[in-house]
Amino acid sequence: MVVTRFAPSPTGRLHVGNIRTALHNWLWARRNGGRFLLRIDDTDAERSEERYVDAIRADLAWLGLTPDAEVRQSERFALYGERFDALVAAGRVYPAYETAQELDLKRKILLGRGLPPVYDRAALSLTDVDRAKLEADGIRPHWRFRLDHDTPLAWDDLVRGPQRFEAATMSDPVVRRADGSWLYMLPSAIDDIDMGVTHVVRGEDHVSNTALQVQMFEAMGVTPPAFAHAALLTGAEGKLSKRLGSLGVDHFRDAGIEPAAVVSLLSRIGTSDPVEPFADPAPLIEGVDFARFGRAPARFDEAELAQVNARIVHQLGHDAVADRLPAGMGESEWLAVRPNLTRVAEAADWWRVIEGPIMGDIADADRAYLAQAAVEAEAIDWAADPWHALTARLKATTGRTGKALFLPLRRALTGLDHGPDMATLLPLIGRDRAIARLSA
């Protein structure tokens, strides 16, 4: 069974890049009849906050990305300890005693010589006596995973194709701090094994992490999962934007954006498939294919999102929006105004047009014409098609046609120069209100 996971750290709110990663994992699991898991990466006790855990759950729920299960890293320390001890015993994890200042100095020396700042593995040269003396002096070690320099770090990425790194060009990653707390790399790999994750789907900024984790999986006797690294998002201006880090569910909700619009856009940008508005995600699930993901950065444009949102709103039935409409606004009113909306909240503006009162900007030259319209409105049959009946009588009695015929009527009846089809809107305004507005 295909198993994917979304693994945010609860140190802040989800932003649009996080949402896209969660969406890719959810789509792939649903496409393959698998499971989508939420893993809260809360090993950093100082920075993790419960309010952000709640916010992550709420954001995923708003988007419709319901996980099949949830786990928390803070509840899995015993498992990490077991795997860690086994790797130490096997010689794949070793203690290192350099201070942060010493490591920084080593990096500066290497960079000054034009060399890559790769850790020199000095800790592997320490004897038992050396380590005992350091610990007697109160120096506690941090722990590094020892890369096998004879084995390339390679995998066939579902998006990027064949990937290969030489282990000797990379530092042995620190997996545990001197205070015993965990860094990201090893617990993540342990969790993926324990949770049965088959596909790790994330952004291309994790490619170097994957290179290191490939050997961690192998050191624990497990075949690594499949990896898919999607290109990162850029702003509308075509470059990485700090603003993308501030755009999240709260922003979209406050802007009147529908969850389906966010899902529709983020599912398709960065792929060879066109962005289309799907109120139901079924076509997006059916069509997701990592082979169709591009290598170029994916361009996120709020203007495009707004356009997609309008097209989503035009598909929504009354039942889907009833709890967000003004009291008294029924299905017929919703269907009448829906084609003119870009956001559901705008329906309230059209409800005010229907209910009134209306203040139209009426030219003096049209006042006699509107008075005649009020007379004709009293004479027509309102049970059939009052708009076409009214305009037909006015055309015959006044000789007006085109804009001169229609625009003054629209202004008097709605206070606006444009809007829903008047044949649909006029019956909702009703006979008495219409005659009163024309007479006024």
- How confident is residue 128, by pLDDT bands cut at 50, 70 and 90? very high
Average pLDDT rounded to a whole number, residues 1-22? 96
More confident residue, 436 or 243: 436
Segment 277-291, tens digit of pLDDT? 999 999 999 999 999
d(CA 357, CA 361): 13
pTM assigned to the model? 0.89
- Residue 242 labelled as part of a binding site: yes
**CATH number of the domain located at residue range(s) 90-176 in this protein:** 3.90.800.10
What's the chain's average pLDDT? Answer: 95
Give 339-372 pLDDT, tens digit per residue.
Answer: 999 999 999 999 999 998 888 788 889 999 999 9
Q: Residue 239 above 70 pLDDT?
A: no
| Superfamily of the domain at 3-78+182-231 | HUPs (3.40.50.620)
89, with CB counted inside 10 A (0-12, 13-18, 19+), is exposed
Domain boundaries defined on the chain: 3-78+182-231, 90-176, 318-355, 364-439
What's the mean pLDDT in 102-118?
94
Examine the pLDDT at 238 and tell me if it is beyond 90: no
What's the chain look like in SS3?
CCEEEECCCCCCCCCHHHHHHHHHHHHHHHHCCCEEEEEECCCCCCCCCHHHHHHHHHHHHHHCCCCCEEEEHHHCHHHHHHHHHHHHHCCCEEEECCCHHHHHHHHHHHHHCCCCCCCCCHHHHCCHHHHHHHHHCCCCCEEEECCCCCCCEEEEECCCEEEEECHHHCCCCEEECCCCCECCHHHHHHHHHHCCCCEEEEEHHHHHHHHHHHHHHHHCCCCCCEEEEECCEECCCCCCCHHHHHCCHHHHHHCCCCHHHHHHHHHHCCECCCCCCCCCCHHHHHHCCHHHECCCCEECCHHHHHHHHHHHHCCCCHHHHHHHCCCCCCHHHHHHHHHHCCCHHHHHHHHHHHHCCCCCCCCHHHHHHHHHHHHHHHHCCCCCCHHHHHHHHHHHHHCCCHHHHHHHHHHHHHCCCCCCCHHHHHHHHCHHHHHHHHHC
| CATH T-level assignment (fold) for domain 364-439 | Arc Repressor Mutant, subunit A (1.10.10)
User: In the structure, what pLDDT confidence band is assigned to residue 308 with cuts at 50, 70 and 90?
Assistant: very high
